[in-house]
Amino acid sequence: MGETEPIETPETPPKAERHMSRRRGAKRKSNITFAAFALWIVFLMYWLFFQAGTGYDIWQNITVAMASFLAIGALVGMIWSPKKWRIRFSIIMGIGWIDFVLIWLSFYAPTYSPYRNLAVLLLSLLVFITIMPGVWISETPGGIRRPKDLRNVVPGAAFIGWLLFSIYWLWFQADSGYTFEQNATVGLFSFLIVYVVGFGAHAKEIGGEEGGYLGLGLGFVWLLFLTIWYHMFAVNFDLYQDIAVVLGSFLLVLGAVGLFVRNRLTEVDRIDFDD
């Protein structure tokens, strides 16, 4: 009689093995998520019991709770996100920027003027929008080796230049005897220049679309109107009335755009407006 061959146990199929690995990974991530939020609750209990009443106001305590919760959320987001450093870095940058804004407004803003606080916020925004495109640019089609189109560079450079000018003006000049209306005029007029330069670089492409020039023109007219309003008339009205004028003029612009779009609809006769 021949020898009996040993019975081979079937190996786990690769697909089933990957499935089991995913389940183990999901379970591990779930446990870490639970532990992270439990840690946040423990921290919050400590803060409320030992620190909240030692000179911090209600808004500062709310900020501590929100900022710590967002930090835990960022940690959990990195755990569950794909294992790509750009995604995780973006999560850290986004949550970090929001936490910075919350902490600044609650703990440091009262010691600075509104203009300087706005300058700090614009500076943090400038840092954010400067870093993030550099992180993702290699993921765009063509990457960093793609030839630069001047028309694409000009709007971004103009906007960054406006942010730098605004930060300088708000920090060094806005409190030097200028009224709110004068500072608003400077901001609006400088942004109007950026609007013309930025969209002017793409005027040919935008104008080639139906209604493109109308949209550019209405935006320009609205910004020009606001600049003239704050330069010549806003001083005679209070803040609430100025806000009403801004909203009313914006509504008129939207109405003009809406009428144009409505008249250009090719299938508007198919819409039944009856109840």
Query: Do 46 and 134 belong to one domain?
Result: no
76 and 188 housed in the same domain: no
For residues 127 and 251, membership in a common domain is answered with yes
- If asked whether residues 241 and 128 sit together in one domain, one would say yes
Q: How far is CA 130 from CA 94, 151, 179, 247, in A?
A: 13, 18, 31, 31
Count of other CB atoms within 10 angstroms of residue 171:
19
Q: Are residues 163 and 35 in the same domain?
A: no
In a domain, 5, yes or no: no
Q: What residues contact residue 98 under an 8 Å CB cut-off, 6+ apart?
A: 70
What's the confidence (pLDDT) of residue 267?
A: 46
Considering the domain architecture, whether residues 58 and 124 belong to the same structural domain is answered as no
Strand, helix or coil at 84? coil
Domain check: are 106 and 135 in the same one?
no
Question: Under 8 Å CB-to-CB from 37, ≥6 apart: which residues?
Answer: 72, 76
Q: State whether 98 and 202 are in the same domain.
A: no
* pLDDT for the residue numbered 21: 72
The reply to whether 17 falls in a domain is no
Q: Has residue 41 been placed in a domain?
A: yes
Per-residue pLDDT, 265: 60
The neighbour count for residue 166, using CB atoms within 10 Å, is: 20
CA-to-CA separations, 267 to 67, 187, 254, 270, 271, in angstroms, rounded: 50, 42, 21, 6, 7
Q: What residues contact 92, with CB distance under 8 A and at least 6 apart?
A: 74, 78
pLDDT, position 19: 67
pTM of the model: 0.81
Is residue 4 situated within a structural domain? no
Predicted local distance difference test score (pLDDT) of residue 213: 75
Are 105 and 183 in a shared domain?
A: no
State whether 94 and 196 are in the same domain: no
Predicted confidence at residue 200, as pLDDT, reads 74
Provide the pLDDT for residue 261: 73
Q: Give the pLDDT of residue 147.
A: 44
* 157 lies in some domain: yes
Report in angstroms the alpha-carbon separations of 154 from 96, 139, 148. 29, 21, 11
Give the helix, strand, coil percentages of the chain, each rounded to 5: 80, 0, 20
Q: How many CA atoms lie within 13 A of 174 on its CB side?
A: 22
Q: Is residue 176 part of a domain?
A: yes
Mean pLDDT, consecutive 10-residue stretches, the chain (275 aa), reads 53 64 83 95 97 95 97 93 88 96 96 97 95 78 53 83 97 96 97 88 62 78 96 95 96 88 59 50
Which domain range does residue 96 map to? 25-111
Q: Looking at residue 93, what is its pLDDT?
A: 95
Confidence (pLDDT) at 150: 62
Q: Are residues 199 and 223 in the same domain?
A: yes
Q: Does residue 231 lie within any of the structural domains?
A: yes
Residue type present at position 30: S
If asked whether residues 239 and 123 sit together in one domain, one would say: yes
Which structure tokens are listed for 23?
Answer: 């389940």
Residue 170 maps to a domain: yes
Number of domains in the chain: 2
